[in-house]
Chains A and B, each alone.
Chain A
Amino acid sequence: MADLVVTTTESVTLTGRQYGNTHEATITGINQVAQGKVNVKSSGFLNLLAFDASDQQGFYQFLNDTMKYFRLTNLDASNSVVLSIGTTDGISTPLDVINIEIPAGCSYVFHGEGAVGDGLNVAGSFTTSAFRLYRLSVQALTSNVDVEIFIATT
């Protein structure tokens, strides 16, 4: 098992004063990583990764509750991509789907909580009840883009 160290930094100077900060997080117990670059079309969603209770299948399907860290970076210089995160309560799949736009050059980072689920839900009122990950898919908004994905699991 290994430790994954994630560092986040931002810096900007406005009217002579620097703003921003650096944060470092150490994520323990990492046993598997997958890293790759894929082309994403603007015609329909492409399934990137899935999660399942009983079976791991190569780079595509991981076991439930094992995801500790996921990053998707939009490598394109001008076009956005939408990341669609499907959730499940073990009965309905997908239960809720959360759709997030990632502009050109930007990244979306997602931290899993392991055994207590992956921390997502859509509800009609404020909620702290999390469902687990079911599937991650992507679609480019106007033109095809390349994205880099990095996932670390227990």
Chain B
Amino acid sequence: MATLTTKIKEEVTLNGKLYGNETTKTHADITRVKQTTVQVAASGNDDLFDFASATYGIGTIAFNKAKYIRITNLDASETLFLNVYLDLGTDEYILFQVPPKRSWILNEDSMEGTGSATTTLDQINAIKAQCSGSDRIQVEIFVAEIT
């Protein structure tokens, strides 16, 4: 088992004053790490990875085991469209746009898209992707899990 250390730092200077912060989080008991770079197309929608109750392959994350998921758009000009797929019997897709060179980070594998604010969340079943433009872009994925 290992400890994952994650940091997010932002810095901007306005009127001579520095704003921002650096936040650090440690995640204990990490036993599985998946890190890869994949291509994402501008048509259709690619499954980046999915979630399941008992499958632990490279492309599947076990329910409630992911402590840190980062998806980075490595392209310099095109936008990455991520869809978080919640299978509720009626399909539900939640869109997150990731601009060029930016990252999308998640620390829980549950979410809800509905008509009002709620603390009742559902299991994520998959994360799918597509990009703007006409050519494929490169996307880096990093996932750290506990057992």
Contacts and interface: CB of A to CB of B under 8 A. Distances in A.
B136 to A, nearest CB: 15
B130 interface: yes
Given A4-B10, A14-B30, A107-B25, A99 B95 contact: no
Interface string B74-111: 00000101010000001111111111011111111011
Chain A: number of interface residues, binned into ranges: 35 or more
B129 to A, nearest CB: 9
B134 interface: no
Interface residues of B, number: 65
B121 to A, nearest CB: 6
Contacts of B45: 126
Interface of A: 2-14, 19-21, 23, 25-26, 30-33, 35, 45, 69, 71, 73, 80, 82, 84, 86, 94, 96-103, 105-109, 111, 113, 117-130, 137, 139, 141, 148, 150, 152
Given A12-B2, A12-B33, 13 more contacts: A3-B12, A4-B10, A8-B105, A9-B9, A10-B7, A12-B4, A32-B14, A33-B19, A84-B118, A99-B119, A108-B105, A109-B104, A113-B79
Interface of B: 2-14, 19-21, 23, 25-26, 30-31, 33, 35, 45, 68, 70, 72, 79, 81, 83, 90-99, 101-108, 110-119, 121, 128, 130, 132, 140, 142, 144
